[in-house]
Structure 1
Amino acid sequence: FEVLGRDGKGRRPAEVRDLRAKRKGPDRAIQGSIYARWLLVFQDLIRISEHHRHDIPEGHRDKWLFLCGAALSWFTHPQGIAAEIASLGRLHTGLDPQEILSTTKPNLERAIDAAAGKKLTWNGQEVDPRYRFKRQTLYDWLAPILPEDLLPQLRAIIPDNLARKREDLRQKARNRAAEGRYGDNYTKAGVRAGNLEKRAQAQAMSALGRSYRQIAAELGVSEASIRRWCRGCDVIAPLVYPPGG
């Protein structure tokens, strides 16, 4: 209801999933789910409209409104979608009621089918009938009305290359946090500085014919790490001279 509001008479126009309550409860399956993803899409759609002062440019209104219906179908009860789309259409597009109704009809029908447990055959598999769109497709549909300075405010309707950049930054932040926790930086070779000596020992032991399992047990390192350290190494076993040699 934080997203959709009420109908002005104290009645709820739609049953909306309370995502925050789900996160706080024992069932955390909603996190990262398709429901949460479409909530982000819907929030981005509203931000786009706000950027245009709640007046979606002509030529893009149908697409914007259709995507609103697709998003709402994932976290709104089917009985509330038509009313919400009608309200969104009036507030953000200026389309006439009949055009708004025709735009949202496919989403409404699919939402009703999903609520009834019906499936749609796609690529030989039975799937939820509600519309799904790839991130890049969402961006391509609305790119003409998305200025560069608006992208930092969006979370779901962004191009794939921007999503990858954001993920790279998050991964670097996670790596820095891990380095801070363990106090052990990674070298350019992809090995923690504290493990360089163990890696050299592992390579020497491998050159002497010791198995990865034996090396891992002796050095207290996982067998997977030993395999990674010794793969392709060119360490030559040291010569063993007889006494007095």
Structure 2
Amino acid sequence: MLTNASTRFATLGILGFFEFTVLSGKFRLNLHGSKRVMQALCFYEVKMNNVKELHGRLTVLHSFFRSHSCFLALEHKCQELDREFGGLCPYTHIHNVLLCDAVTSWCKLFGSWKDEGHWKKLIPEEYHQKFIDSLLKSTKLSLAKFNEYREEMVLFRNKWVVHHDIHFEQQPVPFFETAHNSALTLNMFIREHADGEIIYDGPECMSTFGDQVAEAMLSKLIQTKT
């Protein structure tokens, strides 16, 4: 449940030398000159550690937007694509895998606040309420309703995606509009509140990024079919 409780995260070692690649984008320290390199390293040690935290969340966010967009792109095409393969249903299976990854990725960021990848372990405590306000504004939900949605997603992940509890009564797949909007909000909040010395070179718009991934996937399927 979202609260204002304090959550600390462990500091991690410096990665690489001023640069760390993040899938299709990267964060890097904007350090100039060489005379004060060691002083800069000492001053930015915590922020360099934060680069790894940023990398982890962006990796999961990119995975979510890729899987969510490809899931939507395949939604009404699986039956046609699978027709020539009899009962093998390869594209229906891919569609289900994309759903599972989208759900799992979102829950890594918004599920239990005790999870290592939860947003509270990245965003400083003093910014928690500011992020929650942005989150509720973008999803157009109250805090209670967002927590209710979060619980539905976590239950779906635990009972169907991860463990496949045979005694669990199948529930409808949760609507992804809230998941999509909350993921967009987290991505923008990370970028807007990252240290000024950290430069982001990733996609400017994650919705466009997801659409481009889906278009790339479909372009190969269309080429294969023709």
| TM superposition score category, shorter chain reference | under 0.3
Greater C-alpha radius of gyration: 1
Give the TM-score normalised by the residue count of structure 2: 0.24
TM normalised by structure 1 equals 0.23
The structure with higher relative contact order (CA 8 Å, sep 6+) is 2
